[in-house]
Amino acid sequence: MPRFDELLAQTGKQGMTRRILLRRVTAGVAGLAAFGLLAACRAEQAPEEAAQPTPTPAAPSPTPTRPPAVVVTPQIVTPTPVQAEGKYGGEMIVTGHHEIASLHPDDAGPAVHWVMVTQIHNGMVEVDENYQLELVLAESYDVAADGLSYTFKLRDGVKFHDGELFNAEDVKHTFEWYMNPDNAAVNAALFRNIDRVETPDELTVVIRMKQPDAPFVVRAATTFILPEHHHGKVGKEGYASNPIGTGPFKLKEWRAAEYTTVEAFDEHFRGRPYLDRFTEKIVPEASVRAIMLETGEADSAVWQLLAEDNLRFAEDPNYTVFRTSSLAVNHFPINNEHPVLGDKAVRQAMMHAIDRQKVIDDIFRGTAVIATANLSPALEAWYEPNVKQYPYDPELAKQILEQAGWVDSDGDGIREKDGVKLSFTCTTITGDQARRPEAEVVQQYLKAVGIDMQLAEAPTATITEKLRAGEMDASLFNWTYGGAGGDPDASATLRSTAVNNFSHYKNPRMDELLDNGIKEVDPQKRKEIYSEVQKLVAEDVPFLYMMFWDWFNIFTKRIKGLPETALAGTQLYRKAYQWWIEE
């Protein structure tokens, strides 16, 4: 499993992003439709449609609430067969920063795990590097008009690495394994709205829902399928070191802290991959990962390098660099029940007091974009730009504080109100070299308007525990507040009762919006709901949202067959089966 600070730290590529379904600009409203909620829309492969995307602006198009079925089709792309011009052979080496603790899909949250797990497994549908939904083990799927059942038609003749044929029982086993509380699956919550899984025949799966669940297709139907005949016997513990999937590569050697190697699976249903082997080496030190790219000891770095190395490689013609935006917001969670921080005026004033662009330029070398609310602008289908803005304006910040009754009456440079000092403590992650300087700069900005922010440090597990218990004023890390799997649902973080509502933010309207958002089957209405969510976040400022970090994925030029574009960096590695080596 991941080092926790990295989980907190990490931006775009974390486990979440991999299932991102972001509407491509060209896909128009289809992106919304693909969430599988359009009544009776039959999602089928329509390659000729996909080949000619219509240039639709990113803003929601004025499509009727129930667009014709044809709109949905460009969203679904067929599994791309292995291209003809590639060369067979060779080994591609990528680097990760911490051990690959498990190869079970339930543990594949961290990017360094996922990059290997995705080579070994397939889902019925998967989300690609451009947030397109791709039919993989499913040939098509139907959604019932009421959103209460999904029917998946499965591909015939797909083999697992041990030669067994894949069928509907494997899907049923996988879903039921996650649904069974005895298995204590990490991702169990994604399956909570499923009532039962039926298998009318070998190649058909019908999933019955307890209630409509808008994020279902991209969040749960993308789950990697486990072989019933093997996983059913060995369980999670046995499977973690001995996975058997349908993916393009099968496990050769797993040495958790050192390296993991997979080798080509000759009978993969999309054809044998070009590469003979794909290896991830564990190299904890970021600068050494960069050196390995330079010496040719590695072909790509799964995990981030230092900002200066990223920018250097981006300029270098010997490397192919994908620069994408993360979904996790870099933010200061602040306890909304704190006597000082509970005052909305204080929170709004703090937003005006900080020059966020300067923080991005000075601390992060410009490799981030300013946040406008909880959702990343990378989520084009859901991002709402028309929200309350907080430009850098220290005078306005002071004015807001004065009006709210916060004045410096004793002349010590810190404002008070009713004898309470405008003071709080921000606890950053111990040894966090990226964000500690950020906190120090923000401390100065706040001081300039009469707010005293003390700094402390603690390990990550302590921070989350104390934040949840309401025993900590504030902290600073990156976290996803909606957008996981490309779905805007933020119930896990913004709902008043949510486990990860670190800021103890409580607004009945927000709860109502989030509940409606999950049940709403109409994408256009959902879009309106999540626009309001973002507006409410911008108005209430439940936490100080700073920025979304850029994510860099660097490849040496000898790796050919890479996608032209990518919106989700880590998703790129899904496509390793199409890559080849050309010296």
Smallest separation (angstroms) from another protein to the CB of 570: 13
Pick 511 or 539: Cβ nearer another protein: 511
Binding mask 483-522 for another protein (x = CB under 8 A): -x-------x------xx----------------------
The reply on whether position 523 binds another protein by CB under 8 A is: no
Which one among 35, 150, 259, 265 touches another protein, defined by CB under 8 A? 259
Pick 240 or 346: Cβ nearer another protein: 240
Which one among 58, 189, 396, 407 touches another protein, defined by CB under 8 A? 189
Pick 28 or 96: Cβ nearer another protein: 96
The reply on whether position 331 binds another protein by CB under 8 A is: no
Contact 14, 42 (CB under 8 A): no
Element (H, E) at 237: helix 228-239
Which one among 48, 85, 285, 583 touches another protein, defined by CB under 8 A? 285
Q: CB under 8 Å to 561, separation ≥6 — which residues?
A: 83, 86, 274, 575, 578, 579, 580
The reply on whether position 199 binds another protein by CB under 8 A is: no
Alpha-carbon distances, residue 557 vs 1, 264, 307, 318, 569 (angstroms): 31, 22, 21, 6, 17
Residue 23: strand pairing partners: none
Smallest separation (angstroms) from another protein to the CB of 18: 12
The reply on whether position 583 binds another protein by CB under 8 A is: no
Q: Which of residues 13-52 bind another protein (CB under 8 A)?
A: 14-16
Per the listing, tokens 């992060």 go with 364
E strands, 230-365, in order: 249-255, 259-264, 277-282, 300-301, 319-333
CA dihedral for 234, 235, 241, 245, sign (positive or negative): positive
The reply on whether position 376 binds another protein by CB under 8 A is: no
Per the listing, tokens 């289809």 go with 30
Which one among 241, 403, 425, 565 touches another protein, defined by CB under 8 A? 241
Pick 297 or 316: Cβ nearer another protein: 297
Pick 354 or 514: Cβ nearer another protein: 514
CA dihedral for 5, 9, 14, 15, sign (positive or negative): positive
Binding mask 438-477 for another protein (x = CB under 8 A): --------------------xxxxx-xxx-----------
Smallest separation (angstroms) from another protein to the CB of 502: 12
Q: Is 347 helix (H, G, I), strand (E, B) or coil?
A: helix
Q: Which of residues 137-166 bind another protein (CB under 8 A)?
A: none
Binding residue count for another protein, defined by CB under 8 A: 66
The reply on whether position 104 binds another protein by CB under 8 A is: yes
Pick 5 or 384: Cβ nearer another protein: 5
Q: Tokens at residue 119, please?
A: 């080579």
The reply on whether position 295 binds another protein by CB under 8 A is: yes
Pick 179 or 321: Cβ nearer another protein: 179
Give the relative orientation of helices 394-403 and 344-353 as an angle to the nearest 10 degrees.
170
Residues 503, 468: Cα–Cα separation, whole Å: 8
The reply on whether position 74 binds another protein by CB under 8 A is: no
Contact 481, 533 (CB under 8 A): no
The reply on whether position 264 binds another protein by CB under 8 A is: no
The reply on whether position 179 binds another protein by CB under 8 A is: no
Pick 75 or 300: Cβ nearer another protein: 300
Which one among 29, 251, 283, 546 touches another protein, defined by CB under 8 A? 283
Smallest separation (angstroms) from another protein to the CB of 256: 6
Helices (H) and strands (E) in the chain, counts: 18, 24
Which one among 22, 34, 282, 360 touches another protein, defined by CB under 8 A? 282
Alpha-carbon distances, residue 401 vs 134, 345, 420 (angstroms): 51, 7, 14
Pick 61 or 187: Cβ nearer another protein: 187
Which one among 167, 223, 480, 556 touches another protein, defined by CB under 8 A? 480
Which stretch, 135-143, 288-296, 333-341, 511-519, contacts another protein (CB under 8 A)?
288-296
Contact 75, 63 (CB under 8 A): no
What does R_g of the chain's alpha carbons equal in angstroms? 24
Which one among 82, 92, 205, 292 touches another protein, defined by CB under 8 A? 292
Alpha-carbon distances, residue 544 vs 110, 222, 227, 337, 376 (angstroms): 25, 32, 45, 15, 14
The number of beta carbons lying within 10 Å of the beta carbon of residue 69 is 15
Residues 225, 169: Cα–Cα separation, whole Å: 10
Residues 436, 218: Cα–Cα separation, whole Å: 35
Pick 263 or 487: Cβ nearer another protein: 487
Contact 201, 175 (CB under 8 A): no
What residue ranges bind another protein (CB under 8 A)?
A: 1-5, 7-8, 10, 14-16, 98-99, 101-102, 104, 107, 109-110, 181-182, 184-190, 192, 236-238, 240-241, 255-259, 281-285, 287-288, 291-292, 294-295, 297, 328, 458-462, 464-466, 479-480, 484, 492, 499-500
